[in-house]
Structure 1
Amino acid sequence: MATSLGSTPGATTPGGMTQAANTPESEKDAEFQEHEKILSPDLLSTVQITDLLTEDVDGVQEKLRMFLNFKNLQTCSKDAILLDYYVSGFLWAKGMDFSIIQCSKFMTLIDMLLHNLKTLNMSLKDNIKWLGKVMAEIRPTRSQRIDEWNTFGVKQANAIIDYLKISFFQHYKLYEFMFYSTREEIVIGTEQVIEIVNPAGGPFPSPLEEGISFDIYSKFIEPPPILDKEMKGLDQEQGHEESQPETDTLDMDPLVGFTTEDVKSVLAQITDDILTDVQTEINEKLQIQEEAFNARIEKLKKA
């Protein structure tokens, strides 16, 4: 930017240097630099904003997680809340059709509001005042265009204030509680190492810890463990030996050594015994019925 140097009557600088004259171009350049310092440094670069504008909701959440370095979303509720705060803000700005620079400035604005609360411990009243000053400084004047410095118009500024009212200021106490309240850490589980005592079934007692090393004991004193395959083999052999006599008895014919006549005589004897018992039982029942009929006949005769 070219500036002109000239002498001012009655005013000299030390060393004989003259002061620079204030031209309209230099005033505009200084005003532009002052404007750029209001919301800087940017939270997200223009490249990152451009990348986010092409993503859907899940993509925006994943990209912001990487850009803002949130690593403990699964275990830290604070990180999850802050990520949701930034994701919601960016999606709202995207829905408002903000330009890339406007989206970047808006993300810086909502980040600075959190910074005022977390680091500077601003009250709700002071943070609202700070927002009012910022919005007043970044809005264009009547002689400026909105896209000249990529600032926000009046409608956009009002929309931003309305959004921050329902998303941030309305829940200010909750954000204060999140940043400043001390919470107890709940121990979900603990890891303990337990030393198991060797069984006393061996021929020798377990060695003292200071008396002999475990390597020597396990190599020369402790009996070697029986392998699982050997145990299975022994069980199979024992089971085979126990089942062998049973199979032998099942294979033998129970009528070996008997003739046909022997079988007939045995069956005839069994049949006679069964029929004799049945005949005796029938005779007893008939005798009882006969006595009952005789008693009835005698009663009828007497009547």
Structure 2
Amino acid sequence: MAGSSGGAGDRAQEEGQDQDTVTGEITAWNFLSETQICVLSKENIEGVQKKLEEFLNFKQLKTSLKEAVILDYYLLGFWWAKEMNFNLTQLSGFMALLNFLLENLSNKHMTVEDNVKELGRTMVGIGEPHSGKSGDLDFFSVDQAKAVISYLKISLLQHYKLYEYLFHSPREELVIGDENVIELVKSADTSSPAPLEEGLSYNIYSSFIAMPPAAELETEEIDQEYYPEEPQPEEESLKVDPLTGFTTEDVKSVLGQITNEIIGSLQTEINEKLQMQEDAYTERIDKLTKT
């Protein structure tokens, strides 16, 4: 019996040492100072976010998923505690508890079961001031402690696998941009460098982009100056009125002749068709009379 009593005493002593270790970690873990907690308590949610960025020294929120998730973790936790009307001491202790559990996950690689055990140890003795087992969070009431546990269930503990993936799974860095610099040799004859051979064919380049030599330009200017372009004979003939030299009577006479010729040919054609129809009817009549 004596040996059994001694073993129980040793276990009680070990549990007490473990409890002292946990509470010592919470106490020594000065995550945010009282001054910082006081500053945060006076800000709206946008101000709390900006202040936490400053206190946590986050500089890459737009490109770092880890920093964005951690900031969101502390921001939502602080705002929930503020809406619970926690005093400054309770706010400071709650933020230290959030940091304690997150450090267990990220640095100590604790499983969710082990981290829940650590949470239970920090809550020992709440509501029992004379039990001799009061932890470091005895400034919370029983109802507040239950609310803290419920919040942790729907925040960190419910999404524990996602937080583990965030901290312990390597991710490939995606290249979202690439910059290439190409140097072109400037031509001595032109004001701009020639394009790359891969960009344009030589025919297009020589026809529309390449500038002719200076000698050819001077020759074309001299030719235009001393030998201006003369109008072509065809262009002059197009400008002459075709009715020049004819009177009104001449035009009427020509039109009358053309009209008489057209009408005469039409009359002849009509007479021929009438004669053919008359012959056809005559033949039919003769056949009927003979029968």
TM-score (norm 2): 0.62
Partner of 1:168: 156
Which one of the candidate residues 127, 137, 145 is aligned to 1:157? 145
Partner of 1:186: 174
Contact residue 48 and residue 75 of structure 2 kept, 8 A: yes
Mean alpha-carbon deviation: is it higher for 104-113 or for 261-270? 261-270
| CA RMSD, 1 decimal | 4.3
Aligned: 1:100 with 2:95: no
Contact residue 49 and residue 104 of structure 1 kept, 8 A: no
Distance in 2 between the 1:140 and 1:251 partners? 119
Partner of 2:44: 55
Structure 2 unaligned segments of length 5 or more: list them: 1-22, 132-136, 193-208, 212-220
Aligned to 2:154, what secondary structure does the other structure show? Answer: helix
Distance in 1 between the 2:236 and 2:42 partners? 86
Larger relative contact order (Cα-Cα within 8 Å, sequence gap ≥ 6)? 2
TM-score (norm 1): 0.60
Distance in 2 between the 1:167 and 1:283 partners? 110
Aligned: 1:38 with 2:14: no
Mean alpha-carbon deviation: is it higher for 108-117 or for 250-259? 250-259
* 1:38 partner amino acid: T
Alpha-carbon displacement from aligned partner over 1:209-256 (angstroms, at most 9, x marks no partner): xxxxx57xx44xx2456899xxxxx9xx9xxx9xx9999889765544
- 1:93 Cα deviation after fit: 1.4
Contact residue 124 and residue 169 of structure 1 kept, 8 A: yes
Alpha-carbon displacement from aligned partner over 1:3-54 (angstroms, at most 9, x marks no partner): xxxxxxxxxxxxxxxxxxxxxxxxxxxxxxx889626313365445544554
Distance in 2 between the 1:163 and 1:96 partners? 11
Which one of the candidate residues 253, 270, 288 is aligned to 1:265? 253
* 2:84 partner amino acid: M
Mean alpha-carbon deviation: is it higher for 58-67 or for 122-131? 58-67
Contact residue 32 and residue 95 of structure 2 kept, 8 A: yes
Aligned to 2:123, what secondary structure does the other structure show? Answer: helix
Partner of 1:78: 66
* 1:99 partner amino acid: N
* 1:164 partner amino acid: L
Alpha-carbon displacement from aligned partner over 1:249-302 (angstroms, at most 9, x marks no partner): 897655444322232233223323432343344334434433443344344334
**CA 1:224–1:179 in 2, change beyond 3 Å: closer, same or farther?**
closer
Aligned to 1:141, what secondary structure does the other structure show? Answer: coil
Partner of 2:271: 283
- 1:181 Cα deviation after fit: 0.9
**CA 1:113–1:278 in 2, change beyond 3 Å: closer, same or farther?**
farther
Structure 1 unaligned segments of length 5 or more: list them: 1-33, 144-148, 197-213, 229-233
* 2:154 partner amino acid: I
Distance in 1 between the 2:85 and 2:237 partners? 95
* 2:85 partner amino acid: D
Contact residue 45 and residue 104 of structure 1 kept, 8 A: yes
* 1:93 partner amino acid: A
